[in-house]
Amino acid sequence: MTRPVLYHCPDARSLRCLWAVEETGMDVDLRMLKFPPRAFEPGYRAVNPLMTIPGWVEDGRLMTESAAICERIAEGTSLEVRRDESDYWAWRNWLHRSDATLTFPLAIMIRYTRVEPEERRLAQAVEDYRAFFGGRAKSIEAALGDGREWLVAERFTIADIVIGYAAFLATTLGADDVLGEATKGWRDRCMAREGFQRARQRQKAAA
């Protein structure tokens, strides 16, 4: 059986998958791409017609959604919340919230600060979506406000990975001042994990 292949750009959403890989010790073939692939990696279209990151290829099947890939990686490990656990549905909700609610406004900020040429950058859009993210990030603060160390199940899971990535991304964009104090502490715990540190070191070494 061949190793799964992870197509990844440094610090892109695919970092969630690489982080999960490092937490579990799964053996994967890491393929580094320049960001954005649609501009710099024309050959990637043959792998993923969407030209999005991540791309996960396993047993001839392609997966393209980072939270779903994290679910695959977490199977049978402590990063997974099982259906018979009381926090199962809260866990699933966080996985979906990670992109639809939290990473989306940050993606708009990235577009208009880093991707678009200078003449097309929109400061107002950046500020609007920064505030948009701040409002939605209150859900993280509410979940941690009772003194929880992690989001669900009284342990570190892929919910912390997929949501923690959004908090990390906000920090790289200078938008972490909209995060609550409990959220900042939790973000720091996430980023201090050896799995996160190894993932960032591995992407740097492979670039």
The parent domain of residue 108 ranges over: 88-193
The three-state secondary structure class of 29 is strand
Do both 139 and 163 map to the same domain?
yes
The three-state secondary structure class of 32 is strand
pLDDT in tens, the chain (207 residues): 689 999 999 999 999 999 999 999 999 999 999 999 999 999 999 999 999 999 999 999 999 999 999 999 999 999 999 999 999 999 999 999 999 999 999 999 999 999 999 999 999 999 999 999 999 999 999 999 889 999 999 999 999 999 999 999 999 999 999 999 999 999 999 999 999 999 999 999 987
Report pLDDT for 146.
Answer: 85
Do both 74 and 114 map to the same domain?
no
Do both 96 and 187 map to the same domain?
yes
CA gap 138, 193 in Å, rounded: 23
Do both 108 and 48 map to the same domain?
no
Do both 201 and 182 map to the same domain?
no
CATH number at residue 157: 1.20.1050.10
CA gap 3, 50 in Å, rounded: 22
Report pLDDT for 149.
Answer: 98
Report pLDDT for 158.
Answer: 98
Paired residues of 30 in beta bridges: 6
The pTM of the full predicted model, rounded to 2 decimals, is 0.96
Do both 98 and 183 map to the same domain?
yes
Report pLDDT for 145.
Answer: 85
Q: Which two tokens stand for residue 73?
A: 């990686």
Do both 40 and 11 map to the same domain?
yes
- 74 touches 67 (CB < 8 A): no
Q: What angle do CA 153, 157, 163 make, to 5 degrees?
A: 110
- 67 touches 162 (CB < 8 A): yes
Do both 67 and 93 map to the same domain?
no
Do both 95 and 182 map to the same domain?
yes
Looking at the 3D structure of the chain, how many domains does it have? Answer: 2
CATH number at residue 36: 3.40.30.10
- 153 touches 81 (CB < 8 A): yes
Nearest to 15 by CA among 168, 185, 131, 144: 168
Do both 40 and 65 map to the same domain?
yes
Q: Which two tokens stand for residue 151?
A: 């989001």
Do both 182 and 201 map to the same domain?
no
| Percentages of the chain per state (helix, strand, coil), in multiples of 5 | 60, 5, 30
Do both 104 and 180 map to the same domain?
yes
Report pLDDT for 91.
Answer: 98
